[in-house]
Amino acid sequence: MTTTSPGVAAPPAAAVTSAATLPRPRTVRKGGHGWSVLLYLLPALALVTVFLAVPTLVVIALSGTQWSGVGVPAWIGFDNYVRLFNDPAFLKAIANTLLWVAVGVLIHTPLCILVALVVSRKPRGWKVFRTVLFLPNIISATSLALLWYFVFHVSLGLLNSGLKLVGLSNLTRNWLFDPSTALGVTMTPWVVYIGFGMVLFLTQISTIPQEYYEAAQLDGASSLRQDWSITIPLIRRAIALQVLFVVGYALRSFEYPFIMTSGGPADSSITLSLYIYRQMLTANQYGLAMAAGVVTLVLGIALTAATFWVLRRTER
């Protein structure tokens, strides 16, 4: 029996019945979509497995063999690694590659940040300036390496010709085949082509709210202070991403040293990628080349982990 308060009409019986028969909302459990998410990830996981995980395991397995690329590989254990670290050319390749990383982090990346900060203020002609700086990134590295080869050539190069023209003949030298300059010469094109990093930082800077800068201006902060205290801290993730790109490029740097100096003279400009190329296609020592590739992989993982560690420290 249903009782109602005086003056309040009781709800119709049909309404009570229909409300009682309405389905209850279904509670969604956390992780209930796990299988559907996995289904969506399967194509990507398949591609990573086929084109990354399996080749990496094959390289690791072949690094412990003696193989000329033909026939059945012969297992020799860690002998290839012992040979690598007793080879002065390989040790020089590691040192040069780490120097590529250092130059990329300490010179190339700050230069990208500096230019991005200038362009972000949109001075007159900034769109043309941005386009000109990014243009080399759409040209093949082989073409650029040939261009710079003729810039530094001892007799046909623009650099020596320019020095002679202004009366500085005593400064001319064989830039490409002088052990003291060969490595720096091969790094020069990569350092000055800052278009990709510049666009990366410009994209991140454009997401910073203008209210931060307006508040800083009201407090009397200069443009330099705003960049140092607002812009750079807020683009630190883009800086970390740029460092990862720098590390990746340094570990696979091949075109510039191969075309400009062939790794010489006396292995003064050799890199890990060029060393692997020599062992595989010149000496037909595929097992040794695979071992060098594994060392390169470990080095890349270590540098990547160091980058993320620094990023976490800065975020704290």
Compute the C-alpha angle 159/110/250, nearest 5°: 70
| The CA-based dihedral angle spanning residues 129, 130, 133, 136, taken in that order and rounded to the nearest 10 degrees | -130
pLDDT of residue 29: 53
Contacts of 165 (CB under 8 A, 6+ apart): none
| The CA-based dihedral angle spanning residues 94, 97, 103, 108, taken in that order and rounded to the nearest 10 degrees | -160
- Cα separation of 270 and 288, whole Å? 16
Q: How many CB atoms lie within 10 A of CB 210?
A: 7
Q: What is the pTM of this model?
A: 0.83
pLDDT of residue 85: 94
- Cα separation of 186 and 175, whole Å? 10
Low-confidence stretches of the chain (pLDDT beneath 70): 1-33, 316
pLDDT of residue 16: 47
Helices (H), 27-174: 34-48, 54-62, 79-84, 88-103, 109-120, 126-134, 141-152, 158-165
Q: Which CATH code, of 1.10.3720.10, 2.60.40.1220, 3.40.50.300, 1.10.3090.10, is assigned to 88-315?
A: 1.10.3720.10
Amino acid type, 8: V
- Cα separation of 141 and 114, whole Å? 24
DSSP single-letter state for residue 23: P
pLDDT of residue 27: 52
pLDDT of residue 280: 86
pLDDT of residue 1: 46
Rg, Å, the chain Cα set = 30
Compute the C-alpha angle 256/295/92, nearest 5°: 50
Q: Which secondary structure element, helix H or strand E, spans residue 74, and what is its range?
A: strand 74-75
pLDDT of residue 52: 92
